Structure 1
Amino acid sequence: MNIEHLKLFVRIASTANISLAGRELNISPAVASAHIGKLEETLGVRLIHRTTRKVSLTDDGKLFLPHAQEVLDSIETAQAAVGSGAQTPQGTLRVTAPASFGRMHLIPAIPVFLEQYPKLNIDFRFSDSILDMVEGGFDVAIRDAELKDSNLHAKKLADDKRIIVAAKSYIDKYGAPETPSDLKNHKIVNLTGLEVWDFKGAHGVTSVKTPNYLRMDNGEAVRDACIQGCGITLTATWCSYPQLESGELVQILQDFPLATDCALWAVYPSNRLLAPKVRAFIDFLAERFSGTPYWDEKLSGLVV
């Protein structure tokens, strides 16, 4: 079985486009199509559906994909374990991360990382949707959600502290809620999927279904709407620490902390041998965000 054919198949699964996958691997569309035909002939099954507009995996293709990815990962790990690769991570590192966290905290860190590992290049996919690691061909996923897939491993990078905030202009106009139950009488700016807020109290956890005055699918957009006085929001300190420092946003309901146990994780496939490029990236982020992360250090004394 040809390894280059496997690489092409994995990229087609990610891009849903034979020509695009071929360009990524520096081969023409005609050659790419021929390679996939050879792979299907070798396996004796059809792996992809071809139409004039796009391609998609067949049921056999979906079954074959994780095995193809595992073979490629094992080969890359084996190659990196000997020779110059043992000391120098190299190749393309594919990473997916939440859009806001990626822009605010990964992009500023990348020049330092790539200076340490000049033979690496990085392919980022920033999205607030959780992308499938196998189908996307990702080496690492940065996530702030609970790991549910037992076929993946995760390393904690930092705590993900959540607080309730509002702009001073909003408080001056509408006042601040004194208890979580008061939120039903206020304008709320929500991140899609986070409309129910859970608070710790003397008698346990209280869940409040907040009204959607505004709802958006991006954390920075939610924060910015709140800055403009559109309403109250639940935010991560890593997202809003500059505005909390400047006073554009202030914490409210301090006596009612959120009942959350969130963290930022580096998630990766559960291979017995971890590719050096993956280990280097995870170790770099773990060191950068270790202890009290820098965004929470900046907020010492400003939030509880």
Structure 2
Amino acid sequence: MNFDALNLLIETTTAGSLAEAARRLRLSPMKATRLISALEEELGTRLLHRTTRALSLTDDGRAFLPHARALIEERSAALASVRGAGAGPTGLLRISASLAFGRQVIAPLAVEFMQNWPDAQIDLRLSDTVVDIVAEGIDLAIRIAELRDSELIARRIADNPRLLVAAPSYIERFGTPASLQDLERHECLTNNATTHWPFRLKSESRAIRIKGRFTANSIDAIHEACRGGLGIACLSDWDVAADLRSGALRVIAIEDATIEPLAIWAVYASRHMVPAKVRFFIDALARKLNRQDQHAPS
């Protein structure tokens, strides 16, 4: 069975069209059409419905898709077993990350990674919503959150300290909260679904209700609103480090309380041996974050 055809079928389900899948895999449209036709002929059934406006899996195509993914996984595991643990990354790596973290951390790392490994390709998809990595064909998702129970595999890469910050213009107008009770009276900038911020008071955790006139579904938007003086934001250390150095933002210190940190997780769905492209990228990200921690201002 042709593994290029299997990869193409899998990619087509997330790309939405055979032409887009071919472009992502660097195949000509004619080559892509021939691969799918040959696979359908080998299986003796039609896998894709093709119209001028849309493309979708047939019932047989939906039934075959998980087997196609399993065959690709088994092939990757087999190749890794004979190449050894030191084999370098090859092929297309699909990565999902949040907009802010992807822009500031993952995209620059992708450049370095592809320079070091010429046989590797990266498709980076940025979104502040949690994507279904199995349905979307994502190899690796980087998430900054408290992970819920899942059948996915997760590796903790690094701590993700968070800070309360505000612009000097906001502090000059409204002052700084010294206690959690003070904080509840301030303008707080948060995402649409958040009503509380979690704090650590010695050994106790406490959720503090917060409110404000501005909410957004993007960390980048909250960061910009904070920089513009609209209120206090709870943002990751890596996200505000440059603004703290320049003075565009200042840290808000609460007496006897610190914001609960999150963690940075690598999430993937491989059930067997993790492909080299995934392992190497996770290791590269862990090294990068460790270097940043070592050079972070105290």
Question: Normalising to structure 1: TM-score of the pair?
Answer: 0.83
Which residue of the partner structure matches residue 211 of structure 2? 211
Q: What's the CA shift for 1:34?
A: 6.4
Which residue of the partner structure matches residue 116 of structure 1? 116
Structure 1 unmatched ranges of 5 or more? none
Is 81-90 or 280-289 further displaced after alignment? 81-90
Q: What's the CA shift for 1:24?
A: 3.0
1:39–1:145 Cα change, 3 Å: farther
Is 183-192 or 236-245 further displaced after alignment? 183-192
* Residue 245 of structure 2 is aligned to residue 284 of structure 1: no
1:9–1:85 Cα change, 3 Å: farther
1:136 is paired with a residue of what secondary structure?
coil
Offset from partner CA, 1:97-142 (integer Å, 9 cap, x none): 1111121112333343233322212111122122222222222111
Which residue of the partner structure matches residue 237 of structure 2? 237
Distance, in Å, in 2 between the alignment partners of 1:296 and 1:215 is 33
Which residue of the partner structure matches residue 146 of structure 2? 146
1:141 is paired with a residue of what secondary structure?
strand
Q: How is 1:1-304 mapped onto 2 (pairs within 5 angstroms)? A: 1-27=1-27, 29=29, 32=32, 35-36=35-36, 39=39, 48=48, 50=50, 52-57=52-57, 61=61, 64-82=64-82, 87-148=87-148, 150-201=150-201, 204-255=204-255, 256-258=257-259, 260-290=260-290, 294=292, 297-300=295-298
Is 78-87 or 131-140 further displaced after alignment? 78-87
Contact in 1 for aligned 2:161/2:237 (Cα 8 Å): yes
Distance, in Å, in 1 between the alignment partners of 2:78 and 2:203 is 55
Q: What amino acid sits opposite 1:165 in the alignment? A: V
How many residue pairs get aligned? The number is 297
* Identity score, percent: 37
1:28–1:247 Cα change, 3 Å: closer
Q: What amino acid sits opposite 1:23 in the alignment? A: R
1:133 is paired with a residue of what secondary structure?
coil
Is 278-287 or 55-64 further displaced after alignment? 55-64
Distance, in Å, in 2 between the alignment partners of 1:18 and 1:48 is 10
Question: Normalising to structure 2: TM-score of the pair?
Answer: 0.85
List structure 1 runs of 4+ shifted beyond 6 angstroms: none
Contact in 1 for aligned 2:73/2:270 (Cα 8 Å): no
1:298–1:23 Cα change, 3 Å: closer
Q: What's the CA shift for 1:11?
A: 0.6
1:2–1:184 Cα change, 3 Å: same
Offset from partner CA, 1:14-42 (integer Å, 9 cap, x none): 11222211333455557645654665676
Distance, in Å, in 2 between the alignment partners of 1:58 and 1:28 is 23
Distance, in Å, in 1 between the alignment partners of 2:40 and 2:145 is 37
Is 76-85 or 150-159 further displaced after alignment? 76-85
Distance, in Å, in 1 between the alignment partners of 2:60 and 2:180 is 51
Offset from partner CA, 1:82-109 (integer Å, 9 cap, x none): 4699633222222111111121112333
Distance, in Å, in 2 between the alignment partners of 1:126 and 1:225 is 21
